[in-house]
Chains A and B, each alone.
Chain A
Amino acid sequence: MNLEEITLKINGAVRSAPMPSAIRLVDALRRLGYTGTKEGCGEGECGACTVLLDGRPVNSCLLFAKQVQGKEIVTVEGVGRGHPDGMHPFQKALVAAGGVQCGFCTPGVVVTGAHLCDTRPQASVQEIKEALAGNLCRCTGYAKIVEAVQVAVAELGKQS
């Protein structure tokens, strides 16, 4: 196996390690200790591996780590940076609403949901659902996740 030094910018820090040159981003993140990012399907269907890449949600199971060197990556561990208690209002809202059960979809839901709150606070319920349609959750039936987005948007509105 060909090892190659892979350098990634993750949650504002630069991390690197020798890794197989064809390593997927999800695996590279997990090897570097960012195990919050989960693999639920490995083929871009479930969203458990969602991270932000230069501010846009992507499925990290569909990307090679090599391709994204130099880009800004935000994982679930970094979503709360700069917020009180290190938690994004969407994370807090998700806890309060009860939008977390087994938690395996949660890192992806948090990344997608927080990004949605930050970028599209005017989103309608239908638009919220569309934005989250790539994040499968088998436990919650989604109602409390959608509710958490609405609560967090309201909270962010108050803060600004």
Chain B
Amino acid sequence: MGETLRNIGTRARRVDALEKVTGRARYVDDLELVGMLHLKALTSAHAHAELLSIDTRAAESMPGVFAVVTGKDVPGENQIGVQIADQPLLASGKVRQMSDRIALVAADTAEHAEAAVRAIKVEYRPLPVITHTDEALAPGAVKIHENGNVMTKKQVIRGDVEQGFAAAAAIVEDVYEVNYQEHAYLEPNGCIAIPEPDGGVTIHASAQAPFYIQKAVARVLGVDYARVRVIQATTGGGFGGKEDYPSEPSACAAVLAMRTGRPVKFVYDRAQDLAWSTKRHRMKVTNKIGADGEGRITAAQVRIDCDAGGYTGLSAIVSERSNSTAFGPYRTPTARVDTYVVYTNNLFGGAYRGFGTPQTTFAMEAQMDELAARLGLSPAEIRRRNILGPGDETTTCQKLTESVPGIETFEAALARSGYEQKRREFEAFNQTSRWLKKGIGIGACMYGGGLHAGGQFLEGSGALVHLRPDGSVLVSIGGTELGQGAFTVAAQCAAETLGVALEHVRVTPSSTDFVTDSGPTVASRTTVMSGNAVIDAARQLKGRILEAACELYGVPADEIELREGQVLKRDGTRLGSLKELANTAFAVKKVNLSAQGWYAPPRKTWDNARGNGDAYSSYCFAMQVAEVEVDLRSGRTRVVRVTAAHDVGQVINRTLIEGQIEGGVVQGVGYALMEDLKLDQGRCLNPSFTDYLIPTTLDVPEVDIVLIEQPHSAGPFGAKGIGEPSLIPAAAAVANAVSEAVGYRFRRLPLTPERVLMSLEEAGKLR
């Protein structure tokens, strides 16, 4: 780059910090409109049943009720399935999970709508409820969908895995099972649909992917995309939970808005949100790895059974990430992955930060420890011998070329945490301590940034940048702000490129009216995608105004620099202000001061049959070391410290990156230790924060962060994504630490005190 960066690598204040800290930020439930109606939904009483009849007559004549709709009233297609058309918006014929909607009511108040919902009568003929992938796959199992219970099957084939195992000196094989995780964003789902005079509709939604909502709403209404405007309201967290799911409430509200001609608000309470929205998938992972006498992996094989719930949703692509990166950051000379995505009548699986990889990472990292023990190596040493480096091929036979600091990141985590020494200390401590046991564990991850090759049709991202005649800048991006700081990063990229002070950059709420379909804000892709798109637009503008400056000041364009709102010569002499330049460019020279930016990574090739090819555009490494204390009397685990070393390419905003890592680690700690959704016959038994516990201030470890910067040429200023890698290895590291502390291998999550005690009791470890 040559030039010093002024707005990159800083601790710039969030562009939305003031509005949030003063309570002014406007979330969707803070919007009230004249004549607005409230929507309530009736959901199924069974997880699996035939739907015999729905009687809405009584409900229709209840006070305040404007409309009651069922599947037959959807004006367009009664279909919400984003990947496969297997999910009606409103149940028709059959229900397959508890969250299936039977009918919707719009009324003048939420209370009236609620009362009308209770007056709807439904007749069901219950069917056997399938509660586990093993049951779904058993011969003769009742079919949840006509074409059977296997939604899709994926695989990766690399070399001859049997030969690989034949060459192994040690082989470990085991089954790991992980439960759901709820996103538990603090703001439940919500949206408002406003019918527009031109026959279209405007949606304000708490959402990660306005373009998904646009398509879903257009589909159920049977209108053009161009008539559906989706504006992202300030969104109180997403973590993947607001990728695909918000299309459902938005489509419901849109149907009723069109039907009644009134704005319709649909905001969930916590119990509804917990019971209805998607979750991190339950998975059963059967992992087998073999290594030679030196600890070098010769073969890796895994079977993944992913519990999708009643519908496809995003499960087919979530499991593609499990499938393509099941062996983490390790060399696998021969490998075989078989991934089954299976329908059940459990909760609906969907996108959640890490997207199918925290589950496989938990299994793989446990297996690495087991393999190390078998070979008499330390957990650190076996990893060191297998971590992928530049020039190596991934499991999908993709050659890693640029910015591959796996081993650097790993060693940084070990060194910073004092891993080897602590491991020895803890071992000595445990010799003499009867009840309190200490452990240290490693979790390692290599994360593919951006969408998988299979999803690359969604990969392009846009931005719109206007330079105003007073030198201020307005930016719109196709990505969304979920709390992660996307708008701040976008503003920093614009400020840096245009040489304008950050406080003169405003980022608009994301709207489908401003920018072309930019895909979802997921896959840790937004810094890279939206960042690059902003830079593209800003560079175009810069070129145009430098041309104007060249004429205005009589200095060659390549001699001119824009810096913090000033126009300077390279030697530092001031030529004028950006304000005066922008105004002259606009008023006198009639320069177009708006630019559309676009970024799409190069096309990736992918062979679906063998699961071979360039799965992702680039990769980043995340290596975490967790230190725990387990109290054998209570079974309770305290995570004392997590050292998190992350390969981030280039820091854009240090505070934001730290925030992502601290938050991600804590979600991972919750996943490892306490978050436990309980189901009975497909029904969620604990849909509340009273019974589904997430970490509080008292549950969190100290998080010690090390950042490794090895810029990647495809990233804005060299940056890579960080959102998900922060979470993925955390649960694995904690679980390994707990296993080491108590000398017993846990193969299930979460490690609640009850599970720890029961497992140790059974294993005879508590005597």
Q: Which residues of the partner chain A approach B109 to less than 8 Å between Cβ atoms?
A: 1
Determine if A43 and B688 form an interchain contact, defined as CB atoms under 8 angstroms apart: yes
Determine if A100 and B20 form an interchain contact, defined as CB atoms under 8 angstroms apart: yes
Determine if A129 and B697 form an interchain contact, defined as CB atoms under 8 angstroms apart: yes
Residue B609 CB within 8 A of the other chain = no
Residue B656 CB within 8 A of the other chain = yes
- Choose among A39, A110, A134 the residue with the greatest number of B CB atoms under 10 Å from its CB: A39
Determine if A139 and B663 form an interchain contact, defined as CB atoms under 8 angstroms apart: yes
Determine if B236 and A95 form an interchain contact, defined as CB atoms under 8 angstroms apart: no
Determine if B697 and A36 form an interchain contact, defined as CB atoms under 8 angstroms apart: no
In the complex, how many residue pairs between chain A and chain B have their CB atoms under 8 Å apart?
Answer: 167
Given A138-B663, A143-B703, are A100 and B236 neighbors across the interface (CB < 8 Å)?
no
Q: Which of the residues A95, A129, A136 comes within 8 Å of B17, measured between beta carbons?
A: A95
Determine if A141 and B17 form an interchain contact, defined as CB atoms under 8 angstroms apart: no
User: Chain A 126-152 against B: per-residue CB contact (8 Å), 1 yes, 0 no?
Assistant: 001110111111111111111000000
| A80 to B14 alpha-carbon distance, docked (Å) | 20
Q: Which of the residues A38, A87, A130, A133 comes within 8 Å of B22, measured between beta carbons?
A: A87
Determine if A96 and B22 form an interchain contact, defined as CB atoms under 8 angstroms apart: no
Determine if A102 and B187 form an interchain contact, defined as CB atoms under 8 angstroms apart: yes
| A61 to B483 alpha-carbon distance, docked (Å) | 24
The A4-22 residues at the B interface (CB cut-off 8 A) are none
Main secondary structure of the interface of B (DSSP, over half): loop
Given A38-B27, A40-B187, A43-B688, are A106 and B21 neighbors across the interface (CB < 8 Å)?
yes
Shortest CB–CB separation between residue B207 and chain A, in angstroms?
Answer: 13
Residue B696 CB within 8 A of the other chain = yes
Determine if B236 and A136 form an interchain contact, defined as CB atoms under 8 angstroms apart: no
| A103 to B23 alpha-carbon distance, docked (Å) | 9
Main secondary structure of the interface of A (DSSP, over half): loop
Residue A60 CB within 8 A of the other chain = no
Determine if B697 and A103 form an interchain contact, defined as CB atoms under 8 angstroms apart: no
Determine if A104 and B185 form an interchain contact, defined as CB atoms under 8 angstroms apart: yes
Shortest CB–CB separation between residue B23 and chain A, in angstroms?
Answer: 2
Q: Which residues of the partner chain B approach A101 to less than 8 Å between Cβ atoms?
A: 237, 483-485, 659, 663
Q: Which residues of the partner chain B approach A35 to less than 8 Å between Cβ atoms?
A: 23, 26, 29-30
Determine if B700 and A143 form an interchain contact, defined as CB atoms under 8 angstroms apart: yes
Shortest CB–CB separation between residue A130 and chain B, in angstroms?
Answer: 7
Residue B767 CB within 8 A of the other chain = no
Determine if A40 and B700 form an interchain contact, defined as CB atoms under 8 angstroms apart: no
Q: Which of the residues B184, B269, B658 comes within 8 Å of A138, measured between beta carbons?
A: B184
Shortest CB–CB separation between residue A40 and chain B, in angstroms?
Answer: 5
Q: What is the interface residue range for chain B against chain A?
A: 35 or more
- How many A residues, CB 8 Å from partner? 54
Determine if A104 and B662 form an interchain contact, defined as CB atoms under 8 angstroms apart: no
| A40 to B236 alpha-carbon distance, docked (Å) | 10
Determine if A129 and B22 form an interchain contact, defined as CB atoms under 8 angstroms apart: no
Determine if B186 and A80 form an interchain contact, defined as CB atoms under 8 angstroms apart: no
Residue A72 CB within 8 A of the other chain = no
User: Taking CB as reference atom, which chain B residue is nearest A96?
Assistant: B13
Residue A156 CB within 8 A of the other chain = no
Determine if B696 and A100 form an interchain contact, defined as CB atoms under 8 angstroms apart: no
Determine if B697 and A102 form an interchain contact, defined as CB atoms under 8 angstroms apart: no
Shortest CB–CB separation between residue B569 and chain A, in angstroms?
Answer: 35
Given A38-B27, A143-B703, A144-B662, are A46 and B21 neighbors across the interface (CB < 8 Å)?
no
Determine if B23 and A75 form an interchain contact, defined as CB atoms under 8 angstroms apart: yes
Determine if B18 and A95 form an interchain contact, defined as CB atoms under 8 angstroms apart: yes
Determine if A133 and B27 form an interchain contact, defined as CB atoms under 8 angstroms apart: no
Determine if B111 and A1 form an interchain contact, defined as CB atoms under 8 angstroms apart: yes
| A103 to B26 alpha-carbon distance, docked (Å) | 10
Determine if A42 and B697 form an interchain contact, defined as CB atoms under 8 angstroms apart: no
Q: Which residues of the partner chain A approach B270 to less than 8 Å between Cβ atoms?
A: 40-43, 46
Q: Which residues of the partner chain A approach B183 to less than 8 Å between Cβ atoms?
A: 138
Determine if B21 and A138 form an interchain contact, defined as CB atoms under 8 angstroms apart: no
Residue B689 CB within 8 A of the other chain = yes
| A36 to B25 alpha-carbon distance, docked (Å) | 8
User: Taking CB as reference atom, which chain A residue is nearest B235?
Assistant: A102
Q: Which of the residues B269, B659, B702 comes within 8 Å of A42, measured between beta carbons?
A: B269
Determine if A45 and B185 form an interchain contact, defined as CB atoms under 8 angstroms apart: no
Besides A130-B698, A143-B662, 6 more A-B contacts (Cβ < 8 Å) are: A40-B186, A41-B270, A43-B690, A98-B656, A100-B14, A106-B20
**20 A-B residue pairings within 8 Å (CB atoms):** A34-B23, A37-B23, A38-B186, A43-B270, A77-B23, A91-B22, A96-B13, A98-B14, A98-B655, A100-B21, A103-B234, A105-B186, A106-B23, A132-B697, A138-B237, A138-B694, A139-B237, A141-B665, A142-B696, A143-B702
